[in-house]
Amino acid sequence: MSNTQDSQDILVHTEEGVCTITFNRAAKKNSFTEAMYRQMADALAAAKVDAGVRVVVFQGDIAIFSAGNDIADFLKQASTPDTMGADAPVWRFLQEVSAFPKPLIAAVCGPAVGIGTTLLLHCDLVYAGDNAAFSLPFINLGVCPEAASSLLLPQMLGYHRAAEALLLGEPFMAEAALEVGLINRVVPPSECNAVAQAQARKLARKPLSSLIETKRLMKGGQAKAVGERIVEEGAVFARMLREPAAKEALTAFMEKRHPDFSQC
């Protein structure tokens, strides 16, 4: 058993072949800071080569999975040139998660906003509490999709349902996510993390080489396209973050008011 952590915002704990990454910033709704992306990218890079890790689980708590990227960080990045370059922690995390060779499981309760939802497109199994609310609010923030969601979501949901999710940016609940195949099962929130852990334990008892080859074959020839789309989206996202629409949206969130896009 091991338990390593750089800060308390991300907890990394490995037991019986299952590495669990817990989002632990409830006061800010588990929104992800640069430091948290860095920790998660490091944890995945280590788990990838650690023979003692067979499965990785992402989990929040019973009330919140993640409110997505920290908005204050976005505002900082919008006013600081080059902070969202290709080697920014968020892009490194996305490359690690999208290319992760072993099974990834997510347990989702409460809101899963932005990267809280797009992360799930790279998970192999997703269990959700009936209080889970998924949303892709990039449009409402004046930016564009990330994590290759502009590629993967139309493939998974069909173009029109993906367009509804990405162009309107409205939340949808666990039952709707189940219907479109975004998640595996809806469970009571109090059982969600335990269900994910039980499934992880089952996977951890399978032969690792078979897990890895099965996942690789199911992902098919898509890996290169996904990696390229993450880079392409990242460049557009970083540019848009500095434009008036994003500045208005992010400032409005911090000032707890509705954004005014009439000039954007």
Angstrom distance (rounded) from CA 141 to CA 68: 12
The CA distance from 144 to 234, in Å, is 9
Q: Is 137 in the site for ligand COA (CB under 6 A)?
A: yes
67 near ligand COA (CB under 6 A): yes
Q: Which is nearer to ligand COA, 103 or 142 (CB)?
A: 142
Q: Which of residues 96-135 bind ligand COA (CB under 6 A)?
A: 111, 113-114
Q: Where in 3-62 is the site for ligand COA (CB under 6 A)?
A: 28-29, 31
Separation between Cα atoms, residue 101 and residue 49, nearest integer Å: 10
List the beta bridge partners of residue 2: 14
How far apart are alpha carbons 181 and 197 in whole angstroms? 21
* Token reading at 220: 């098919």
**Is residue 33 within 8 Å of 70, Cβ to Cβ?**
yes
Candidates 51-59, 69-77, 86-94, 153-161: pick the segment binding ligand COA (CB under 6 A): 69-77
Interacting residue with ligand COA among 14, 20, 69, 184 (CB under 6 A) = 69
User: What backbone phi and psi angles, to 5 degrees, belong to 117?
Assistant: -95, -40
- Closest CB to ligand COA among 75 and 212? 75
Size of the site for ligand COA (CB under 6 A): 14
Examine residue 230 and tell whether it contacts ligand COA (CB under 6 A): no
Instruction: Using CB under 6 A, list all residues that contact ligand COA.
Output: 28-29, 31, 67-72, 111, 113-114, 137, 141
